[in-house]
Every structure is written in structure tokens, then in C-alpha cells.
Amino acid sequence: MKKKTEKGFALVLSIVLLLVMSLMGGSLIVISAGDHQSNNTSDEYQQTFYVAETALLEAEKLITNKMMGPWIVVANEYATPPTGLNAAETAEWNAMVAALTTEAATQGGYARDTDKRDLPTNLIPVRGETACYRSFRNLNRAGFLVSEHKYNQNFGTLIQAVFNDADLDSSANAETLAREEEHMQRFRYEFIIVNIGSAAYKGFGSSLKKTTTTVQTTGTIYKIYGCGYMMPRGTDVTQTLDEFMDVDPDILVPLEGTAVYAN
């Protein structure tokens, strides 16, 4: 008679296979979670890079508005004429307001106030040694003056109109949009503008006579230092300068560029 010695073998084998499958499943979960986190981090770095590019664009827009004149609402800026004008000056003032009003009618209610044009020059000190300022070694010197320094600019506020769209807010994705809006409030930007000096510039424009052209050969070159920030969760959007400098951003992307403007 042959004695059976395989009692319980199937149970042991099942337990071993279950353990192996559990380990494999756990490993897959860990790997998937790691990939997900890596993708999220990559997306956040990419978003911060775009915010840094926005800093450069906003700096260029500021220079343009100063050199061409700021956009104004005519009714707010020129509601009443200045006191003490004589008849000729009043007529000139009324003609200027009429011209601005006509321009505003074709520019969404805004017009450029060319009387307030200005050439940005290095007259102000850096507001503070922010993380962006410290990331550019060539800025770290005593008595450094700049044309403009804007810090802790809220990127979420800049694109607020996207989240205020009535169709989006009334959709089933309203809760998701609210979370995205809160997330975008973590992104800030900063820029520093430095007037480098005169630079070669060539611009061509046709006059009324097609056979003649005008050529501009001198301009002003500006160096722009911009940064995109991704701030820690829960960071107050209305920070003072000292509070802003005390917080270490989760991500900081510095960029720099140059822009040449005709004088």
C-alpha cells in the first residue's frame, strides 16, 4: 500500500502564490503612484516656467505703456477741466478729450494718454532681496538701481477672467474649476527692469509719399529679469514684502531677456 505524503500542499502553494501576487500588486501601486507624482511635479515645473515667461511679457508691456502712454478710461481721468484755463486753453483741452474719447470708442473704452509718456530710467532701488533677486548673481551689488521692480504678482488674478466665465461656472465642472482656481493662486511672478542704455535700433515706416521712408537708428535697451514662483499651499496672496521674502517657494524658475525700444 502506497502512503500519501502530499496533504496540505495545495493550501501552502495557494498561500505562496497569493503572497507573490500581493507583492506584485503592491509594487505596481507604488510604481504607478511614483509615476503620477513625477507627472504632477513635471506639470508644476512647466506651469511655473509659463508664469516666468508671463513675468517677462508683463515687464515688456509695462515699458511699452510708459513709453507710449498708459491706457486710461477717459471719463475717469478727464471728467472736468483743470481750473484757471483761459478760453483758448479750454478749447484745446476739450479737443484733446474729444480725440481721446474717439480713440476709446474703438479700443474697448480705453485710450492712450500720450501726455503721460515717460522713458523708464534707473531711479529706484530694488524693493528687497527676494528669492528672484538672489537667483541672478549679476544683480547682487551695492547701490543697485532699477527702472521697475514688481514682486508677488498673482498669476491667478491675472487670468481670473477664465474662471469668471458664466458658462464654465454654471457647468457640472464648477467644483473642479474652483479647485483649479485655488491652485493657480499659488503661482506668483516677479520682474526687475534695468535700463542698460542706448542701443542700435532700426525701424522703417512709409510716409504719405510712397517713395520715401523714415528710419530710426537709436533706441534704448532694457534688461528684464523675471521669475515664476509656485508658493506653498495656504500662502497668503496679500503678503507684505517681508512676508513674501520669508517664504521659500516650492518651485522657482528664473528667466531673463532683453528688449529694445525706439526713443
| Range list of H helices, 69-153 | 74-77, 87-105, 131-134
Average pLDDT over residues 245-262: 91
Q: What is the pLDDT of residue 121?
A: 92
Round to whole Å and give the CA distance between 78 and 57.
Answer: 29
Q: What is the pLDDT of residues 93-108, one digit of tens each?
A: 888 888 888 888 888 8
pLDDT at 161 over 80: no
Q: Which residue has the cell 509659463?
A: 50
Helix (H) or strand (E) segment spanning residue 186: none
Q: Could you read off the pLDDT of 210-223 as tens digits, one per residue?
A: 455 555 567 899 99
Q: Lowest mean pLDDT: which of 29-38, 143-152, 186-195, 220-229? A: 29-38
The pLDDT tens digits of the residues spanning 65-94 come to: 999 888 888 888 888 888 888 988 888 988
Query: Tell me, what's the pLDDT at 24?
Result: 78
Q: State the pLDDT confidence band at 208, using cuts at 50, 70 and 90.
A: very low
Residue 256: beta bridge partners? 225
Distance in angstroms (rounded) separating the CA atoms of residues 62 and 55? 11
> Count of residues for the chain?
263
Cα separation, 263 vs 34, whole angstroms: 54
Output the CA–CA distances (angstroms, integers) from residue 62 to 17, 30, 139, in the order listed. Answer: 67, 48, 21
Rounded percentage of the chain residues whose pLDDT exceeds 90: 31
Q: Is the whole model's pTM more than 0.85, yes or no?
A: no
State what percent of residues in the chain have pLDDT above 70: 82
Average pLDDT score over residue span 243-262 = 91
Instruction: Check pLDDT > 50 for residue 128.
Output: yes
Q: Which residue has the cell 495656504?
A: 234
Average pLDDT over residues 225-243: 89
- Concatenating the DSSP letter of every residue in 252-263 gives EEEEEEEEEEE-
**Cα(105)–Cα(195) distance, integer angstroms:** 34
- Tell me which residue has cell 511614483: 34
Q: Any idea which residue has 503592491 for its cell? A: 26
Among 50-54, 212-216, 234-238, 252-256, the range scoring the smallest mean pLDDT is: 212-216
Q: Are 154 and 186 in contact (CB under 8 A)?
A: no
Distances from the Cα of 108 to the Cα of 71, 104, 161, angstroms:
11, 6, 16
Using pLDDT thresholds of 50, 70 and 90, give the confidence band for residue 207: very low
